[in-house]
Structure 1
Amino acid sequence: MAIRKLRQGEQDTLRDHLLRLGPEDRQMRFMGSASDSLIQSYCGRIDWLRTTILGYFTDADLRGVAELVQAGNRWPKAAELALTVERPFQNRGIGTTLLQKALVVARNRFTSTVYMTCLLENKKMQRIAHNCGASLVIHEGESEGTIWPPWPSYLSLVEEAATEGQALFRAAFEVPSSRTSIVLDKIV
């Protein structure tokens, strides 16, 4: 999997991913209907100092996202987490992997509590959260998962750095799959 952090200035990449979501997936992500203009406005308002976005890429296209947003200014830190994976890429473990990597990022930033809120009918999200150790509470048509990451360790810091290093390596040395098939056709 090609997973890396999005950088400030990549709002358009995130916007394009969110705009590719169908109405049902938009409703699950935003807990209500989300028009194209709402998504554009949302991406334009991201506070990159409080938000870490991990993206799953196929070639250059963003197909899945974990958004970790610091909540408030208290210590120890708390954060909210949201996941999206485009429909053709669901049920492949991408959401689980994004959540696991986002929890490492939260841990390395001394985040003591991560909250995940979803609609009651979003069983996929509830299952992913539960499988990653979330305590789930249901109230008023919503399910809220709470995860308490441990404090950072040398291994968690190395794990986050390795994810970024792997993404840089792929970007520098791998040929996208569409080009590979063209080259192979010319050789044969």
Structure 2
Amino acid sequence: MARSKKAGATSGQGEVRRLWPAERDLFKAHLLRLDDITRRERFGTAVNDDFLGNYAVTTFGVGGLVYAYIEDGAVRGAAELRGLEDIVAQTGEAAFSVERDWRRRGIGATLFQRLITASRNRGIRTLYMTCLPQNAAMRQLARNFEADLAGGYADVEGVIATGGPTPFTILDEALDTARGFASMALSMQRRLWRPAFLGRSHGA
């Protein structure tokens, strides 16, 4: 079972939970805030705003799952699990993005652990990830989760054996999903709610 050798802990100011399709705009806003270097680290090449907007639209399809670190109503870090449309292969792909000012808080490690749990519960036994050779932080994060790293000049690939599901991993994800859905519903209610008097004219 893949497990972090250095358990990460977030600052406690935000929450890590599953991101739902109704929150696609939060994910898109996160991607658009990434600086040029972080965009290249995430996608392996330079990408523009139009690319990121289209990417956010397609991410929440049948084959994708997203966990996010949310602080003050904004997504500051995200982890994606792709490949769920082909579970027979028992493999999946992980990708991460954390805004520069929110790094070194353990957010990446917490997101990574959520993805591993989700992978195990869906029968994904092997998790792949790629990063640029100069992305030392991501390489170290992968090593902390006992990934086998290989690569060269263009990119580095990490391979993680996740292990199978257990009653504990299933319960852990179920509780996390319930908490996350409740948090999403509350967040949506706050964004959509308007006091009645705001809709009235002063002369009413």
TM-score range (shorter-chain normalised) is 0.7 to 0.9
Give the superposition deviation at 1:153.
0.4
Give the superposition deviation at 1:126.
0.6
Residue type of the alignment partner of 2:147: A
Rg bigger for which structure? 2
Residue type of the alignment partner of 2:95: A
Q: Which residue of 1 aligns with 2:125?
A: 112
Give the superposition deviation at 1:162.
2.5
Classify 1:159/1:124 alpha carbon distance in 2 versus 1 (closer, same or farther; 3 Å): same
Q: Which residue of 1 aligns with 2:48?
A: 35
Residue type of the alignment partner of 1:116: M
Give the superposition deviation at 1:164.
2.5
Contact 1:76/1:110 (8 A) holds in 2? no
Q: Which residue of 2 aligns with 1:5?
A: 18
Contact 1:76/1:112 (8 A) holds in 2? no
Q: Which residue of 2 aligns with 1:65?
A: 78
Q: Output the aligned Cα RMSD.
A: 2.1
Contact 1:72/1:78 (8 A) holds in 2? no
Q: Provide the aligned length of Structure 1 versus Structure 2.
A: 174
- Equivalent residue in structure 2 for 1:123, among 136, 142, 159: 136
Contact 2:16/2:110 (8 A) holds in 1? no
1:85 maps onto 2:98 in alignment: yes
Residue type of the alignment partner of 1:77: Q
The whole-number CA distance in structure 2 between the counterparts of 1:71 and 1:129 is: 21
Classify 1:74/1:99 alpha carbon distance in 2 versus 1 (closer, same or farther; 3 Å): closer
Q: Which residue of 1 aligns with 2:166?
A: 153
Q: Deviations over 1:38-60 (max 9, x none)?
A: 10111122252110000110021
Normalising by structure 1, report the TM-score.
0.85
The whole-number CA distance in structure 2 between the counterparts of 1:153 and 1:9 is: 30
Residue type of the alignment partner of 1:2: E
Identity %: 31
Classify 1:170/1:125 alpha carbon distance in 2 versus 1 (closer, same or farther; 3 Å): same
Q: Which residue of 1 aligns with 2:10?
A: none
Structure 1 residues not aligned, in runs of 5+ = 177-188
Q: Whose strand proportion is higher, 1 or 2? A: 1
The whole-number CA distance in structure 1 between the counterparts of 2:86 and 2:54 is: 24
Contact 1:29/1:83 (8 A) holds in 2? yes
Structure 2 residues not aligned, in runs of 5+ = 1-13, 191-204
Give the superposition deviation at 1:74.
5.9
Q: What secondary structure does 2:101 align onto?
A: helix
Residue type of the alignment partner of 1:35: N
Q: Which residue of 1 aligns with 2:202?
A: none
Q: Deviations over 1:144-172 (max 9, x none)?
A: 00011111000001111232334356565
The whole-number CA distance in structure 2 between the counterparts of 1:138 and 1:33 is: 20
1:56 maps onto 2:35 in alignment: no
Contact 1:2/1:167 (8 A) holds in 2? no
The whole-number CA distance in structure 2 between the counterparts of 1:72 and 1:166 is: 25
